[in-house]
Chain A
Amino acid sequence: MSRLLTAENLDISAGSGRIVHGIDFAIDRGERVGLIGESGSGKSLTCLSLMGLLGDGLSATGSLTLHGDTSSPETASDDLDLLNADENAFSSVRGNRMSMVFQEPMTALNPLMRVGDQVAEVIKLHRRAQSASLPADQPNATVEDRVLDLLDSVRIPEPARAARVYPHQMSGGQRQRVMLAMAMANGPELLLADEPTTALDVTVQKQVLTLMAEQVERAGSSLLFITHDLGVVSEVCDRVIIMRHGRIIETGPIDQVFTRPEHPYTRALLAASALRTDHSSGRLLTPDTVDAAAQNQHRPAEDRLSISSSAEAGSPAAAAHLAIAEDGSAPVFNQAESPVLEVRDLTRSYGKAGFLGRGRVVEALRGVSFDVAAGQRFGIVGESGCGKSTLLRLLTALDEPSSGSVRVNDQAISGQRERRLRWLRQSMQIVFQDPMGSLDPRMTVVDIITEPLWNAGRAERLRRAKELLEQVGLPQGAAEKYPHEFSGGQRQRIAIARALVTRPKILIADEAVSALDVSVRAQVLNLLDDLVDEYDLTMVFVSHDLKVVRHSCDIVAVMNAGRIVECGPADAVFDTPKHPYTAELAAAIPRMKDNVA
């Protein structure tokens, strides 16, 4: 196998600060390499430097060579020095010999241009140079035909219609397929994919990954797949490179790295990704604890039995495992004697049937009934658009249901004036997904945490803030700082401290760990676990991540298209799903090859 790309001593720096420290790696023709790392590891910058698309103020030194194809004498000498290539040389390589799929499908396409035109553009840009090497069997294929072929090859239904629509008329998964079609249009020698499925739902992710592997295979391209998700990388790559803080710390065939990791960080990453727990304490392994715990005591989260503290939290041992009936009628899920949270026949529709039926009604929730008993950890999983956000807004009385009721501690909260919900605001708190956006950047941490304590004095506030900071594992000195001085994981700890200041009875975690790196995720989940016990909380945990929900919750409700389709004890729901949708969802979770014993 011949060499396609060589990076030697690659350095990337921003001004005087070095971000990537002299890394070496190589990619062979047809090889599929996964570049793995958490945020700040330099993996995305490495990828952008290959494309010559580093932003302003960033510069790369060292050597990066794209080798010519030695199998043909014409192209054997086409070596290109990527770091010193001029704009002309680089432009003819981008989208042609090398192409890229980006993370965010929603913004990567031009919103004002028809999809077909955007695909055609990349063909036309390189066509002149390529005309000699057009496939002989279809010398007169027009660009339009080629566009339709490409859209068809990424399995976009009705390519002719799809080519004429604008990006906003497509779903995220479809847009990512269009990006893939564009990237593969000229049969690139190297496809770079930067977290291409991170923004997608698991079932869509699975389809896109399969498609990508298939396209790369067919075109004989090499793949450099950048991701933080070890499960995803297992689905598409042969070899992995692990990066941390701008250095490559381990590299090798995927089976070897995942089964016999040499570097402690790799071990920690693997443990955190699999949500592996310590056998004796039932706690998630974190980078600090992974080496302390003996290897043979690690067990995958899937095997977790009743060791978790949550099982002893006083919840009924055996909740019923139910699914909606074939005729579509839904039972009351997780029915309890005196529930903390009681939801009955909840519906919510948006929009209205307008003049002459022009309006559009979206039924976001279609008859949801369930209970949450005191002390339970109730998980809600579902893909985007399933209605989980709508449900959350109704549970927290931030929105009014179209019909049905929500009762908290046997008091109705729907249809109440905000003034009369003060008790609810105190006894129910939320931790949001985005640790960057949910804290006011102009407020100090102490003000953020103690804002609800409006009648407490300055000293009292500070005392309480420090107490909470300690509980969430932050130094007391953090109190006087501002949110931007903290990392994502630390900010989420602040958000948790803020939620706990009113001593709530119910804690709602809305995708609370979805924006965090896996190793930080394990720490925050452990923290939540401890605090739920300490504060006797009832937790409603909403997430798209099935593994996380399975670890953190005793009861899981699976939502699809505005309904709960199945609900029951977490392990039972995922191990023996009763509803086909749950089975599909469980099967779509990317799994790591050969779980470490």
Chain B
Amino acid sequence: MALMIVRRLGVFLLTVWVASLVVFFLLSVLPGDPARAQLGLDATEDQVQALREQLGVDRPLPVQYMEWVTGFFTGDMGISYASRAPVAPQVLDALQVSLLLVAGGILVALVIALPLGLLAAVRQNKPDGTLFSAVSQLGISVPNFLAGLLLIGVFAVTLSWFPSGGWAPPAAGADFLRHIALPALALGLVNGAILARYTRAAVLEVMREDFMRTARAKGMKPGTALLRHGLRNAMVPLITVTSIEFANLIIGAVVIETVFVVPGLGSNLVRAVGNRDLIMVQSIVMCVVVLVLLVNLLVDLLRPVIDPRLRSAT
């Protein structure tokens, strides 16, 4: 078990390192000079060269990489090319907002997916079960920005229950909840529909297992058998799927943050790309990569806790 944790951690660190190489060098070889982009076409070559030196982009790439990567993990991500302000505080603020939004999205997705998927499975061949399946099928086919616009149209514009955009920090209490409600809902609805399909499949699969029949043969009622033996077994595949969905949600957040004008990683990323703020883009992308890898690592460590069969296997 200890060996497995060490091994997983090793793989995690290795992946982060490779990812940092890819993120840095791929973005560095993109055409476009950050100094020229900022000074405009009218600036002289000397002015551009001076800014290059000031930004440090004239040095060899490996040197820039070492500086960037050590900085990234020590909290000094450098100075934004666009705003000339330190990158780290901006990224950390945006990260906090995005994490809250994604957490809200996951919560919404799970609240929708688990009961819906369970009901669709248990009442498989009955009208309501089929209806649940159809609803989730419909949910999958709605892109999340459209869901966002529809939610704004109904709940912000027509009913005026929620603000149509913007953000308030958690310290703001009720105001925070009012601001996060619609974007989290938009993010969670679609992923909830996808997750509901997986839940239904996982529960159906478990219901066909021999040990469920054994549970019935012991004298358990179908519902009890499902709760006591079925759900935990269905969790095993669902946890893996949820972690994959997490990556989807972070990416989905890029669009949703733009729609709802939420100052998260996504909207910052879009702005940084527009400004050719290379160092900002690198830092945000790296942040997202580390986040996704971290969630995968946690799930890898969590699965053996739930499934004893994975403990002995390496």
Asked if residues A96 and B219 are in contact (CB atoms below 8 Å), the reply is yes
CB <8 Å contact, B233 and A94: no
Contact of A179 among B209, B214, B220, B229 (CB under 8 A): B214
B309 to chain A, nearest CB (A): 5
What are 6 sample pairs from A and B whose C-beta atoms fall under 8 A apart? A53-B216, A91-B221, A95-B219, A100-B217, A110-B214, A125-B220
Binds B, one of A75-83, A101-109, A207-215, A217-225: A101-109
User: Whole-angstrom distance between the alpha carbons of A87 and B236 in the complex?
Assistant: 29
A305 contacts the other chain (Cβ, under 8 Å)? Answer: no
Residues of chain A having any CB pair with chain B under 8 Å: 51, 53, 56, 87-88, 91-96, 99-100, 102, 104, 107-113, 121-122, 125-126, 166, 168-169, 179, 182, 358
Q: How many residues of B contact A (CB 8 A)?
A: 25
Q: Is the interface of B mostly helix, strand, loop or mixed?
A: helix
Whether A111 pairs with B219 at a CB distance below 8 angstroms is no
* Complex CA distance for A96 and B219, rounded to whole angstroms: 7
Q: Which residues of A contact B232 (CB under 8 A)?
A: 112
What 1/0 mask marks residues of chain B from 197 to 214 whose CB sits below 8 Å from any chain A CB?
A: 000000000000111011
Find chain B residues with CB under 8 A from A53 CB: 213, 216-217
Q: Does A166 contact B221, Cβ atoms closer than 8 Å? A: no
**A99 CA / B307 CA spacing, docked (Å):** 28
Contact B218 A109 (CB under 8 A): no
- The reply to whether B125 and A99 contact each other, CB–CB distance below 8 Å, is no
The listed residue (B210, B215, B217, B306) touching A112 by CB distance below 8 A is: B306
In the assembled complex, B3 has its CB within 8 A of some CB on chain A: yes
Q: Is B210 a contact partner of A94 (Cβ separation < 8 A)? A: no
* Other 15 A-B pairs with CB < 8 A, given A95-B220, A121-B228, A126-B219: A53-B213, A53-B216, A92-B219, A99-B217, A102-B210, A102-B217, A107-B210, A109-B211, A110-B214, A110-B215, A112-B236, A112-B308, A125-B219, A125-B220, A182-B214
By the criterion CB–CB under 8 Å, are A168 and B211 in contact?
A: no
Q: 1/0 contact trace for B109-137 toward A, CB 8 Å?
A: 00000000000000001000000000000
Binding site for A on B (CB under 8 A): 3, 125, 209-211, 213-222, 228-229, 232-233, 236, 306-309, 312
Question: Are B125 and A121 in contact (CB-based, < 8 A)?
Answer: no
Beta-carbon contact of A94 and B216 below 8 Å: yes
Q: Is the CB of A121 within 8 A of B218?
A: yes
Q: In this complex, which of B218, B306, B312 has the most chain A Cβ atoms within 10 angstroms of its Cβ?
A: B218
How far in angstroms is the closest Cβ of chain A from B233?
6
Of the residues A51, A88, A110, contact of B217 by C-beta under 8 Å: A51
* Min distance, Cβ B183 to any Cβ of chain A, angstroms: 36
State in angstroms the CA–CA spacing of A96 and B215 once bound together.
13
Residue of A nearest to B216 (CB): A53
B219 lies within 8 A of A93 (CB): yes
By a CB distance below 8 angstroms, the chain B residues around A104 are 210
Q: Once the chains are docked, how many angstroms separate the CA of A166 from the CA of B253?
A: 41
CB-nearest residue of chain A to B124? A56
Nearest-Cβ distance from residue B4 to partner chain A, whole angstroms: 11
Q: Which residues of B contact A102 (CB under 8 A)?
A: 210, 213-214, 217
Bound CA–CA A53/B221 (angstroms) = 11
A166 to B232, CA, bound (A): 15
Is A109 a contact of B219 with CB atoms below 8 Å?
no
Enumerate chain B residues within 8 angstroms of A125, measured Cβ to Cβ.
Answer: 218-220
CB <8 Å contact, A166 and B309: yes
A171 to B216, CA, bound (A): 23
B278 to chain A, nearest CB (A): 43
CB distance from A111 to the nearest CB of B (A): 6
Structural contact, B308 and A108, CB atoms closer than 8 A: no
Docked Cα-Cα span, A94 to B221, in Å, equals 10
Q: Are B218 and A182 in contact (CB under 8 A)?
A: yes
Give the nearest-CB partner of A358 in chain B.
Answer: B3
